[in-house]
Chains A and B, each alone.
Chain A
Amino acid sequence: MSVTSFQQALCDLIASPRLCRALRAAPEEVLANYELSARERARLCDVVWQRGMSTNCSLYRANRVTPLYMLLTYTCRSLGDQFRSLLDEFWDAKIYRDGQFSSEVERFAAFLRKRIADGIVSSPFTAELLEFELKLNSLRSAPRKQLLREVKTLPAPGPDTPCRIHPLARLVRFHHDPDALLDAAERNVIASAKIPRRESLLVTPQLAPALADAGLLVERRNRNKPARLFMDA
């Protein structure tokens, strides 16, 4: 039990510079939460004074922020000054069960959706950027070849076949002009941007031909960027 508890305490300390400071100030109080031998207590009391412990804390934070910033770049940027406090709150929740990028992103997305619903997130853009990036990620990680093989084996649709979206397509609903929004996010000025409201759907390329045929597509091109395809909602 003692080794288990020691490892738990060490992990808790690495995850929380606040807990390290608390242990420095009041070791008995902090370590009362763990079943430790005298030697383990002494080790933990010593470790929090070592310079390397702040390296551990920094590594922990860098390792946890990397998947979020890598896979939810625009979302993180939209949070501006709130990003850091929201991260602290997310990390305090102790729901880090594995080091998987995808599950960490899903957990942060669930956390953020709740904070958005509670009115805590001040950016009006975070919700739509989050949904956009989650769908983009799901496309990136989709087993493309396998899905295309499956699609090829489907029977030709009849008049009663329910309408469904191609497995390699995603629709994202925006409440602000998506072109301006995504450009501001790309340029990392989203936290202070003023973006006009506009209801639209972002369409991934696989859906574009059918929507173009139906005359529903609005295509916009920036000089240096690939076209984004929108459908006014």
Chain B
Amino acid sequence: MRDSASALGVGILHNPVVPDLLKSDPGMVDYVSIMPDLFWADGGPGANPRFSESEPWMEFIDWACGRYPLVAHSIGLSLGSAVFSDDAYVEQLADWHRRYRFLWHSDHLSFAQVRSASGQEQHAGMAVPLPLDFEVLRLLTARIQALRPRLPTPFLVENAVAYVTFSDEEMSEPAFLNSLVRDSGCRVLLDLHNLYTNARNHKFDASAFLRQLDLDAVVEVHVAGGTEEDGIYTDAHSGPCPEAVWSLLEEIMPCTPNLKGITFEFHDSYFSIFGAKDVRAQLDRARAIWHRHRPR
């Protein structure tokens, strides 16, 4: 089944070096993915003002929203937290949707925030993967169902990178994602580099994973590069995509009728070794694949 919104093409996830890249080469992307959380300092619940927007960063988003379609990729919803709610944060995201007309919103299949027995908030310091059990599925479903009416666009959940596995899980990851899509009404941001990382570290077949996933639900794809450290391959966003990630992208393109965009991610700290030409080459390669499967 094909969704009605039009396809975008190839995009880039914003980081501090992206504004200069886009200003010098505006045609390198068709859209920009924004992590709204990075554009403001959050004083935390009760702070007044709670969110202080960063002036130089705001100049970029104000510049970009007149030139590119924008999509939102938040990192603060902590969808999988057993106990967590932050209405003011959701309202801030909703306000940004009104201001910048993001075409969709995504966050991660993980948790980052926990509340201790004494009621104190604690941050996990990273996106922590979830055990794929029915209890967690119900928790996520309820949270996404509550969230969707507040954000006026399709809501996407990104498959997580997981350096550890949990024994005795009740569902496979594709089955978990398929159920989440069916039960909560969310869509999928398929991060092929996360999948590649997990498959490489935990020695499973990424193509088999894709064959089990409901690819109709995939609206956005992330591609990126990583680094091997101490026998573990990490999702470091440190450079070019591995060939295997491009192959996975080629595999899914004919089976993703609702795919709207392929987003390339890299971390700005690697920009001194992975420069503008390299970024452009990755985007061009993604665009070539896009056009091969989505002829204009």
> Given the complex of chains A and B, what is the CA–CA distance between A8 and B83 in angstroms?
11
Interface size on A, residues (CB 8 A): 43
> Given the complex of chains A and B, what is the CA–CA distance between A4 and B114 in angstroms?
7
Please tell me if B135 contacts chain A, counting CB pairs below 8 Å: yes
Known contacts A42-B168, A51-B231; A59/B115 CB under 8 A: no
Can you give 18 A-B contacts (C-beta < 8 A)?
Answer: A3-B82, A8-B116, A15-B125, A39-B168, A47-B166, A50-B165, A52-B163, A55-B163, A55-B232, A56-B128, A59-B234, A97-B120, A97-B121, A97-B122, A98-B113, A100-B44, A103-B43, A143-B55
Please tell me if B139 contacts chain A, counting CB pairs below 8 Å: yes
Name the contact of A100 in the complex, choosing from B41, B125, B131, B165 (C-beta under 8 A).
Answer: B41
Contact A103 B44 (CB under 8 A): yes
A92 to chain B, nearest CB (A): 13
Contact B232 A11 (CB under 8 A): no
Please tell me if A64 contacts chain B, counting CB pairs below 8 Å: yes
Please tell me if A153 contacts chain B, counting CB pairs below 8 Å: no
Contact B201 A8 (CB under 8 A): no
Contact with B along A96-112 (1 / 0, CB 8 A): 11111111000000000
Contact A56 B163 (CB under 8 A): yes
> Given the complex of chains A and B, what is the CA–CA distance between A7 and B80 in angstroms?
10
Name the contact of A43 in the complex, choosing from B121, B136, B166, B232 (C-beta under 8 A).
Answer: B166
Q: Smallest CB-CB separation from A146: which chain B residue?
A: B55
Please tell me if B42 contacts chain A, counting CB pairs below 8 Å: yes
A residues in contact with B131, CB < 8 Å: 6, 43
> Given the complex of chains A and B, what is the CA–CA distance between A101 and B123 in angstroms?
12
Please tell me if B145 contacts chain A, counting CB pairs below 8 Å: no
Name the contact of A63 in the complex, choosing from B82, B125, B166, B229 (C-beta under 8 A).
Answer: B125
* 10 additional contacts (CB under 8 A) given A42-B167, A55-B232: A6-B131, A7-B81, A11-B122, A47-B166, A59-B126, A98-B123, A99-B125, A103-B41, A103-B42, A141-B54
Name the contact of B126 in the complex, choosing from A6, A56, A97, A141 (C-beta under 8 A).
Answer: A56
Contact B124 A3 (CB under 8 A): no
Contact A64 B55 (CB under 8 A): no
> Given the complex of chains A and B, what is the CA–CA distance between A122 and B47 in angstroms?
35
Name the contact of A94 in the complex, choosing from B75, B81, B113, B122 (C-beta under 8 A).
Answer: B122
Contact B121 A98 (CB under 8 A): yes
Please tell me if A221 contacts chain B, counting CB pairs below 8 Å: no
Contact A8 B123 (CB under 8 A): no
Contact with B along A54-92 (1 / 0, CB 8 A): 111011110110000000000000000000000000000
> Given the complex of chains A and B, what is the CA–CA distance between A143 and B51 in angstroms?
13
Known contacts A53-B163, A55-B163; A7/B114 CB under 8 A: yes
Ranked nearest first, the 10 interchain pairs of A and B with the lowest CB-CB distance are A52-B163, A60-B125, A4-B82, A3-B82, A52-B164, A55-B163, A11-B124, A102-B41, A97-B121, A55-B232
Contact A96 B128 (CB under 8 A): no
Contact A96 B163 (CB under 8 A): no
B residues in contact with A97, CB < 8 Å: 44, 120-123
Contact A8 B168 (CB under 8 A): no
Known contacts A42-B168, A47-B164; A145/B231 CB under 8 A: no
Most buried by A among B83, B113, B163, B164: B164
Contact B112 A99 (CB under 8 A): yes
Please tell me if A46 contacts chain B, counting CB pairs below 8 Å: yes
Contact with A along B261-281 (1 / 0, CB 8 A): 000000000000000000000
Contact with B along A143-165 (1 / 0, CB 8 A): 11110000000000000000000
Q: Smallest CB-CB separation from B232: which chain A residue?
A: A55
Please tell me if A14 contacts chain B, counting CB pairs below 8 Å: yes
Q: Smallest CB-CB separation from A54: which chain B residue?
A: B230
> Given the complex of chains A and B, what is the CA–CA distance between A58 and B163 in angstroms?
11
Please tell me if A171 contacts chain B, counting CB pairs below 8 Å: no
Known contacts A4-B82, A7-B128, A50-B165; A141/B123 CB under 8 A: no
> Given the complex of chains A and B, what is the CA–CA distance between A103 and B50 in angstroms?
12
Contact A52 B232 (CB under 8 A): yes
> Given the complex of chains A and B, what is the CA–CA distance between A58 and B125 in angstroms?
10
> Given the complex of chains A and B, what is the CA–CA distance between A94 and B117 in angstroms?
14
> Given the complex of chains A and B, what is the CA–CA distance between A56 and B123 in angstroms?
14
B272 to chain A, nearest CB (A): 15
Please tell me if B155 contacts chain A, counting CB pairs below 8 Å: no
